[in-house]
């Protein structure tokens, strides 16, 4: 496993064998999941206000199963690309 400290992410990519496309998809996947789960994101604040429920209920309870399935599909696709 490559160390990211010191040399930066580009050296870790070169030595670890992770492709640029796989890393880009992984970063997009984690960003989209964290935005969907966070009760403080703008999207969840707006939906919770319109629905009349708390941000935690909107982010974690209502989006949790959907984002878990999205994570599994995304990780599978990234594994096939890499």
pLDDT in tens, 14-72: 556 568 888 889 999 999 999 888 888 888 899 899 999 998 888 888 888 899 999 99
d(CA 81, CA 75): 10
Whether the Cβ atoms of residue 66 and residue 35 lie closer than 8 Å to each other: no
Q: Which two tokens stand for residue 11?
A: 């050296």
d(CA 65, CA 31): 17
Q: Which two tokens stand for residue 51?
A: 């629905």
d(CA 7, CA 73): 31
pLDDT in tens, 8-28: 555 555 556 568 888 889 999
């Amino acid at each position: 496993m490559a160390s990211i400290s010191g040399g930066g992410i580009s050296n870790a990519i070169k030595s670890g064998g992770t492709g640029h496309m796989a890393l880009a998809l992984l970063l997009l996947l984690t960003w989209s999941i964290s935005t969907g789960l966070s009760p403080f994101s703008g999207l969840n604040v707006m939906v919770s206000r319109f629905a009349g429920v708390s941000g935690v209920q909107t982010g974690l309870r209502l989006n949790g199963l959907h984002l878990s399935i999205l994570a599994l599909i995304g990780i599978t696709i990234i594994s096939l690309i890499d």
